[in-house]
Structure 1
Amino acid sequence: MAPARDRRTGFSRRRQYGAFLAYVLAVAGALVGAALLVASRFNPPAFAAMRMAVASVTAPVSASAAWAIDGVVSVPDTIATYFFVHDENTRLRAELKRSEALLLRARTIAYDNRRLRALLAVRDRSADTVVTSRLVSSTASSGRRFALLNAGRAQGVEPGMPVRGPDGLIGRVVETGPAVARILLLTDAESIVPVRRTRDGLPALAVGRGDGMVDIRSVNTTNVRFATGDLFVTSGTGGLYAPGIPVARVVRTGNDSMPARTFARPDSLDFAIVQRAFLPLPPAPPAPRP
């Protein structure tokens, strides 16, 4: 049977010194406590001064300990906040991307609505509208300038009919199929349109250049002065185009022949209006009798 543990100090000096020191600290603590109790009872000002002196010594230690404890306690909150902010940032980025897509779609719809409203206003004012249809494609970068319209003979489209958009004249129909039509654009080198200047009625010709612009050339006169910004509209001469349709604006000052930029841009248009000729074509001569 194992002997019971001896709780006495015995001959171990370390245990003897430890016990002695504990007794001394206990007695000293009791004496200090008694002194403080007496001072607080019989001399409160002195007790208050001693208390503030002790507080002044221990305050920095307490502040440092409190700062360290707060730092340790805040570590989990900091980690949690980091992950929360990271997730929130990811969610906000995804939401911003969705919002940008919706905004782009809304702007596109608003732009299309404005153009369609302008086109409808033109169609409502014109009694000679044949059909309103979509421009399928256009040759905006080749030497010849044509466009394809998604309407043909089945919709009443015939060669020679003028085609316009909400901003101005586009060209004229040169070929038709059952459901499509080919349009010769104003900027084609084979296109010639009689026009007049809006500020004084000066007659001129809008001749295609084949590079996306037209030349405004004077008619039957010389030394005609063209100024930058001069506006030209169809004159009605020839009976094909109704008068007053916007055609082009001069981009440079000069004489006799100046480049101009068309108002209608077929490469950026979606829909166009096909109209009847301003003056009906004369009837075909009767066939000779045998």
Structure 2
Amino acid sequence: MAPPKDRRSSFSKRAQLGLFTSYVAAFFGAALGFVLLMISLFHPATFAFARSAATDVAAPAGQVGATVRTGGKSVIDVIAGYIAAGSKNAQLRKELAIARSRLAEAEAIKSENQRLKQLLNVRETDGRPVTAARLIGSTASSTRRFALLSAGARDGVQVGMPVRSSTGLVGRVLEVGQRTARILLITDGESVVPVRRVNGDIAGFAQGQSNGTLVIRLIDLGINPLKKGDVFVTSGSGGLYRPNVPVAIVANVTRDGAVARIVSDPAASEFVVVEPIWQPLTELRDPAKPAAE
């Protein structure tokens, strides 16, 4: 005989009991939830102990999360600090090079003043710069060392004028156009600059070697008094270059002089200053003439 189509749970006492139990549990659960909700609304402090206990249980996990966040932030800060330190170090190195140049120039001026105190009636041409311009090109694959300046005759630039950067002497003007000028760098083999050592007033000439260095040849031959690290500045002898402009630092001492590296690298000098040709004028007054003349 086929089973009836309408099979109800009442035919199974176990199923009926289970259904009744689930209804009762749901009712009491809803009632308990309602009661707890009312208590939390009208007496929030009643469950403070439960919240505190839950917070205490979750505290280790929170500490782990905070540690992870702090560690990640620290790593980011370290990376950012490293990148910032790199740029600051580059800036500090540049400022240090300028400071060393200024110190050498100050020492040279001090020595110069001691000698000038013994002289009278000494006049110099105006030392104000003619113009400031940008170095826009240079020879890269030639034995000659030239640079191109973004200023010319219309800016007052003339042949023979010295060119210097913030750290030292760069060269002199060789050719002049209306808007540009060609500079003979001091590292060129045809460049000869009268120089003297900052300490001791040892005179000589600095000649370029076309490889980025200079050869220092002393005027007084004898025992070579130079040593590594000596700073040479322009002496002003013969005019053209005004005195006390940093030129080179001795790298290696030779039998009759030294090999020196330049203070102002044209490749690292974006802007330069064109100065007038320096011409010292000394008036020798005739003692027989009155001072009023």
Taking structure 1 as the reference length, the TM-score comes to 0.56
How many residue pairs align between the two structures? 209
Give the 3 Å change call, closer, same or farther, for CA 116–190 of structure 1 in structure 2: same
1:250 CA drift (Å): 2.7
- Secondary structure class of the residue paired with 2:267: helix
Contact 2:187 2:210 in 1 (8 A): yes
Which residue identity does 1:267 align to in structure 2? Answer: A
CA distance 1:249–1:109, change in 2 (3 Å): closer
Q: Match for residue 227 of structure 1?
A: 226
Cross-structure match for 2:278: 278
Shift of 1:136: 3.8
Q: CA deviation at 1:260?
A: 1.7
Amino acid at match of 1:93: V
Q: How is 1:75-90 mapped onto 2 (pairs within 5 angstroms)?
A: 77-90=59-72
Within the alignment, does 1:94 sit opposite 2:73 as a pair?
Answer: no
Aligned partner of residue 217 in structure 1, secondary structure: strand
Q: Which residue of 1 aligns with 2:175?
A: 175
Q: Which residue of 1 aligns with 2:261?
A: 261
- Contiguous gaps of at least 5 residues in structure 2: 1-9, 15-52, 110-125, 281-293
Q: CA separation in 2, counterparts of 1:108 and 1:250?
A: 24
Residue deviations 1:100-150 (CA, integer Å, cap 9, x gap): 444545555666678889999x9xx97331112333455578633333333
**Larger Rg: 1 or 2?**
1
Is the 8 Å Cα contact of residues 147 and 184 (structure 2) preserved in structure 1?
Answer: yes
Question: Which 4+ residue blocks in structure 1 deviate beyond 6 angstroms?
Answer: 110-120
Structure 1 vs Structure 2 CA RMSD? 4.1
Does the 8 Å CA contact 1:195/1:232 hold for their aligned counterparts?
Answer: yes
1:111 and 1:210 map into 2 onto residues whose CA distance is 26
AA partner of residue 227 (structure 2):
T
- In structure 2, the CA distance between the partners of 1:226 and 1:215, relative to structure 1 (3 Å rule), is farther
Q: TM-score, structure 2 length as denominator?
A: 0.56
- Distance (Å, rounded) in 1 between the aligned partners of 2:265 and 2:258: 19
Residue 196 of structure 1 corresponds to which residue in structure 2? 196
**Deviation of 1:85 (Å):** 3.2
**1:210 corresponds to 2:210:** yes
Tell me, in whole angstroms, the C-alpha distance in 2 between the residues paired with 1:269 and 1:203: 27
- Letter aligned with residue 259 of structure 1: V
Contact persistence 2:98–2:167 (CA under 8 A): no
Contact conserved, 2:234 with 2:244, CA < 8 A, in 1?
A: yes
1:208 to partner: Cα distance:
0.4
Q: For 1:272 and 1:225, how far apart are their aligned partners in 2?
A: 34
1:209-240 Cα deviation digits (max 9, x unpaired): 11111111134x54352421444322223321
Contact 2:127 2:278 in 1 (8 A): no
Cα deviation for residue 157 of structure 1 reads 1.9
Structure 1 residues 141 and 78: alpha-carbon distance in aligned structure 2, compared to 1, 3 A threshold:
farther
Q: For residue 71 of structure 2, what is the amino acid of its counterpart?
A: N
Out of 179-188 and 269-278, give the one that drifted further.
179-188
Taking the aligned partners of 2:207 and 2:92, their CA distance within structure 1 comes to: 34
Q: What SS does structure 2 have at the residue aligned with 1:174?
A: strand
- Amino acid in structure 2 at the alignment position of 1:194: P
State the alpha-carbon separation in 2 of the partners of residues 133 and 143 from structure 1: 25
Amino acid at match of 1:97: I
**SS of equivalent to 1:233:** strand
Which residue number corresponds to residue 130 of structure 1? 130
> Identity of aligned pairs, percent?
35
Q: Deviations over 1:60-111 (max 9, x none)?
A: xxxxxxxxxx9xx96x655554444334433333344344444545555666
Counterpart of 2:26?
none
Shift of 1:172: 0.9
* Structure 1 runs not aligned, ≥5 long: 6-69, 281-290
Query: How do 1:19-34 residues align onto structure 2 when only pairs under 5 Å count?
Result: none
Counterpart residue number, 2:44: none
